[in-house]
Amino acid sequence: MTTAAQRLLLRAALGEGADALEAWQAWRAATVIDALDPDSQWLLPLLYRHLLALGVPRASLTRYERVYRHNWYKNHLTLTRVVDTMRTLERDGYAPVLAGSAALAVGTYADLGARPLASVRIQIDRPLHTPVDPPENHSPITICAAPAASAGDAAMPIRTVIGQWAGRNVTLVHPVDQLLAIAAQRDSWDPRSSLLWIADVVTITQRHASADWHAIVDAASCDQPRLRETLHTALALAGRALAPGSGTPVTADPLPVPA
């Protein structure tokens, strides 16, 4: 359950225009930054980039900027090594797909430093027979075969899109499937903070604002009523966390066509 201060922070980091700025001022007045709760600390990079885009002077964001720059540097190092690992897998005949928070950082968030990476997951099309030894980095890399549907369950094959990072094409899990995974796991999606899953859901739906997400999740989970209910609940919870409404994002991308 989010607190009133956390909801203000979510509005400030994800909302539009005057509503985001009003929420930031209220959050700042009610918060001692040196005693910030751990869940909220993980949103400071996103808060920094969003307020900067809204025209807040950089000098007013110094504390957030330090966190953002540290996060950007760690993400850059991690993704450099992740992409090298994916290239090694491709040379060995696998079809690697970047999943989880790393896929969101590359394909959904507008800035590499805005989304702190959790452990990085690369999914491949079949079990790994020859171990790949990825270089050491701050975020561990897990290489796993894409999970198969359980007996009696409707198969939900993972769809992909092509993203770009540092001028290189990277195959990513499609936003629809990312949303399905996030909504099904919610707080356990990224156990470092109970706010990150909300930020991820809102960012995906904002980035592809023209999509009818409730219709999409109905179609994606038509044979799995419990999953469909969970998805609609997650969308509603994410929306309420931003109340009063955050409005339509300034920039919205059409939903990409899955591969």
Over residues 33-53, the pLDDT tens digits come to: 999 999 999 999 999 999 999
Any idea where the domains of the chain sit in the sequence? 4-241
Region 230-240 average pLDDT: 74
Q: Which pLDDT belongs to residue 208?
A: 79
DSSP assignment of 170-213 equals EEEE-HHHHHHHHHHHGGGTSTT-TTHHHHHHHHHHHHTTTS-H
Integer Rg of the chain from CA: 18
Answer whether the bond into residue 225 is a cis peptide, omega within 30°: no
Residue 163's closest CA among 250, 102, 229, 230?
102
Q: Which pLDDT belongs to residue 179?
A: 86
Average pLDDT, the chain: 82
Give yes or no for a contact between 7 and 162, defined as CB atoms under 8 angstroms apart: no
Residue 109's closest CA among 38, 206, 42?
206
With a cut of 70, say whether residue 246 has pLDDT above it: no
In the chain, the N- to C-terminal Cα span, in Å, equals 36
In 56-159, DSSP assigns E strands to 97-99, 120-124, 141-145
With a cut of 60, say whether residue 241 has pLDDT above it: yes
Other residues' Cβ atoms within 10 Å of the Cβ of residue 216: 18
CA distance 176 to 258: 9
Confidence of residue 232 (pLDDT cuts 50, 70, 90): confident
Q: Is the pLDDT higher at 210 or at 83?
A: 83
